[in-house]
Chains A and B, each alone.
Chain A
Amino acid sequence: MRKELLLILVICFLVLFQQSFLPHFAIYGMIPNLVLVFVFVLNILDYKSSIILSFWAGLILDIYSEMPLGTSGILFLAMAMIIKKSSKFFQKLNILYLIFIFSFCLVFYNFLLSLIQIKL
């Protein structure tokens, strides 16, 4: 439980860092999504509470974005489940698998988020 609380604090730090420090280093106006990378790493390493933590990470990110609360939470949750399911069929530390699954997650998250933004 203590570890989970610490990880939530790390997520909070990453969200604030991403929203307030990284915009100054935007490349072509784009800001790297550190929280997504953190969620991806947690799930690839198969951390025991990674699914719940993914949801929490999304919720915290939602507070600092214009999206309704829960949007990124649900997307990160779905992403965590996809990683869990897919890791059963592949060797987890296979570099090709890692590149593929990370690219997939990135496209999955941004595509769905853009769709929701258009709908709203």
Chain B
Amino acid sequence: MKINKIILVIIVFLLLIFINRFFLDITKNSFYNLTSPVQGFFWKMGDSSTNFFQSFLENKNLKRNNQEILRQNQKLLVDLQKIRELKKENQELKEVLDLELNKEFELILVESISRETNGDFILISGGAEKGILKDMPVITKEKVIIGSIDKVYKDFSRVLLISNKESNFDVQIQKKDDEKNVNEIYGLAQGQGNLKIDLDLVPQEKDIGEGDLVFTTILAGVFPKDLLVGEIKEVKNSDVSNFQEAEIEPYFKNNLSGTLFVIKNFISQKEL
């Protein structure tokens, strides 16, 4: 009886090794195909439930928020006018200098389906069949960076979120009161897990503060430039270190649901 059990355990182990070695991707893809309608339903239900609870909880601050939004809106309208003027001027300059217009990203539309309990990964609908490849960046429609493709199945892909511990990339910090971005400040964003990102390697002499915006740069070729990462939440100054550290509040946290885009014409040059 005991020998039978041992044989059974050995068979199960061998079977697991065999599946992991040769059939893991097919197995996972088949299961995702089978359960994606249920997952999609749960994902949408969860999204609408949080929206409901959030609006209920934030009801108290509604008036104050409204005034703040109105104030920001007026400021944005003024900024928009300035941008229009600058755009026109820029266009004219480009024509004069005969420069090529910026190419827009080639995008693949996908939907997020689920998020893993352990590790910062999400599953998206769309895989090798849609032309998705490993290391392609994933963004929202607001150009907020979500992460990069980690694993591609036939009809689905797994996205490594920028908050994953394995994720690190160069960023540029834009001061909230420095619209012309005179002071160029660069740093390194390092994922900390559980949707947290830390900012590191910012020289001590550079002035960074709460609310400063963080964008991607093309320096190391991990992500295309000017994608929004988030804003600085808290700066941690240390007398011992030559660099400043800060915590970044990632913007993708509120944009994980629904439609996302995979950038087709950019593959990151990660050092592995």
A67 to B35, CA, bound (A): 19
Interface of A is mostly: helix
**Nearest Cβ on chain B to A27's Cβ, whole angstroms:** 9
Residues of A near B163 (CB, < 8 A) are: 29
Within 36-87 of B, Cβ neighbours of A (below 8 Å) are at 38-43, 45-47, 49-50
Residues of B near A29 (CB, < 8 A) are: 120, 163, 193-196
Residues of B near A30 (CB, < 8 A) are: 194
**Nearest B residue (CB) for A13:** B38
Contact of A31 with B46 at beta-carbon distance under 8 Å, contacts A19-B39, A26-B195 already known: no
Tell me, yes or no, whether B199 is within 8 Å of chain A by CB: no
**Nearest Cβ on chain B to A72's Cβ, whole angstroms:** 9
**Nearest A residue (CB) for B17:** A70
**Nearest B residue (CB) for A28:** B194
A16 touching B257, Cβ below 8 Å: no
- For the A-B complex, the count of residue pairs with Cβ-Cβ distances under 8 Å equals 92
A62 to B246, CA, bound (A): 34
**Nearest Cβ on chain B to A11's Cβ, whole angstroms:** 13
A21 touching B45, Cβ below 8 Å: yes
Q: Which of A21, A28, A31, A70 is the most central at the interface, judged by chain B CB atoms within 10 Å of its CB?
A: A21
Q: Which of B16, B20, B38, B119 contacts A65 (CB 8 A)?
A: B119
Tell me, yes or no, whether A81 is within 8 Å of chain B by CB: no
Tell me, yes or no, whether B241 is within 8 Å of chain A by CB: no
Residues of A near B13 (CB, < 8 A) are: 70
Contact with B along A1-33 (1 / 0, CB 8 A): 000000000001000111111111110111101
Tell me, yes or no, whether B264 is within 8 Å of chain A by CB: no
Q: Which of A24, A61, A63, A67 contacts B49 (CB 8 A)?
A: A24
A69 touching B27, Cβ below 8 Å: yes
Tell me, yes or no, whether B259 is within 8 Å of chain A by CB: no
**Nearest Cβ on chain A to B51's Cβ, whole angstroms:** 9
A64 touching B151, Cβ below 8 Å: no
Tell me, yes or no, whether B168 is within 8 Å of chain A by CB: no
Residues of A near B42 (CB, < 8 A) are: 16-17, 20-21
Q: What is B's interface to A at a CB cutoff of 8 Å?
A: 13, 16, 19-20, 24, 27-28, 31, 35, 38-43, 45-47, 49-50, 113-121, 123, 150-151, 158, 163, 193-196, 256-257
The contact sample of 19 A-B pairs, CB cut-off 8 A, is: A12-B35, A16-B38, A18-B117, A19-B114, A19-B117, A20-B114, A21-B46, A23-B46, A24-B49, A24-B257, A29-B193, A61-B117, A63-B27, A65-B119, A66-B116, A66-B158, A69-B20, A110-B118, A117-B119
Q: What is A's interface to B at a CB cutoff of 8 Å?
A: 12, 16-26, 28-31, 33, 61, 63-70, 73, 110, 113-114, 117
